[in-house]
Every structure is written in structure tokens, then in C-alpha cells.
Amino acid sequence: MAEHEIDVNQHLNNARYCSRISDWLAFVTGRTPRITDISAAFLHETQVNTLLTTSGQLDDQGNFQAAISSIQPDGTELVHFTANGTIA
């Protein structure tokens, strides 16, 4: 995560998380997604230089579940943000 993505609270802004979900959907579908419904949840702050991974599932009806996470120094996964929704 880059410095320019940090908000005034010194954390990754929620809109940036949603952009990453949109990018993941574009990668998975091979096209620009048209998100028709989304529910998102911020879980943990993200500091500068944190390596984030986006993963999830997308079904045949366009329903998705996605998470943005990082690997902690002890090897555990920390989920920072989740989103569920639908694309057309």
C-alpha cells in the first residue's frame, strides 16, 4: 500500500478498499465490473507499506464475497476489510 492511499487518520481509507475489491472483480471477470449492490465492513487498520492480498468468490449469478488481508510477522492472516455484493 502506497503513501498516497493514506487518509488523515494515517490509515488506508475505506474507499481505497472498495477500489481494490473492484479491481479484484475486474481481474476475476476480465471486464470492468458494474457493482449493483455492495455491503462492506472495515475490520482492522492498514499501515503504510503493508502488503495486502485480495481474494474471494464469485458465483454464476454475480454474487461475490471478498476479503482484503495481510500476513502478520507471526505468519497469521489478518483480515482488514470484507465486502459482499452483486455485479451485473
Q: What is the pLDDT of residues 18-60, one digit of tens each?
A: 999 999 999 999 999 999 999 999 999 888 788 999 999 999 9
Q: Where are the domains of the chain?
A: 3-87
**What CATH number belongs to 3-87?**
3.10.129.10
Closest C-alpha to 60, from 78, 87, 37, 33: 87
Q: Whole-prediction pTM value? A: 0.86
Alpha-helical runs (H) found in the chain: 14-29
- Cα angle for residues 75, 77, 67 (degrees, 5° grid): 155
